Amino acid sequence: MTDVFFFVLLVIVSYLLARVEIEIEGKYGYAKKLPVSWRTENKWLRYFFTGTSYHLYMGLFLLALVHLPLVCCISWSWGREMLVLSFLAFLTVAEDFLWFVFNPHYGIRKFKRDAIPWFGQYWLGFLPFWYWYYIPIGVLLYVGSKFVD
């Protein structure tokens, strides 16, 4: 039953975060129109936080937030660390996808390479490239968390 709660909470948090980001970014994804967000074109940095200060700070905020239970409520272990990092990996992909699904300027039909200029050529098949490494990382961490403690 814990697995069900994990993924239900993941979907709820992803949906809520997607709605917040839709309110912040509107139709301009990749923090394109945010007034003080800096960006880098360094391809290695873009793999980790899409290259904007907005996404860097949002990512660090989420990293800190998912660790809150390990700081205040339960003891730390490698298995629990893997579990919270898997949550973060899945959250990153699910929130991004739901941003398109629920954004009135996009929708599921526009979730494709030609309609999303900030992903540009960074697609592999029908998904943005980085989805293809965050999802397996999430799976490995989640499954691994069951065997480590």
The model's pLDDT over 117-136, given as tens digits with 9 standing for 90+, comes to 887 777 888 999 889 989 99
pLDDT, tens digit (0-9, with 9 covering 90-100), for 85-101: 999 999 999 999 999 99
128 forms beta bridges with 123
**Number of separate domains in the chain:** 1
**Which positions ≥6 away from 30 have C-beta within 8 Å?**
50, 52, 118
Query: Would you give the DSSP letter of residue 128?
Result: E
pLDDT, tens digit (0-9, with 9 covering 90-100), for 60-90: 999 999 999 999 989 999 999 999 999 999 9
Written as six digits, the tokens of 60 are 């660090």
Q: Which residues constitute the domain of residue 19?
A: 2-145
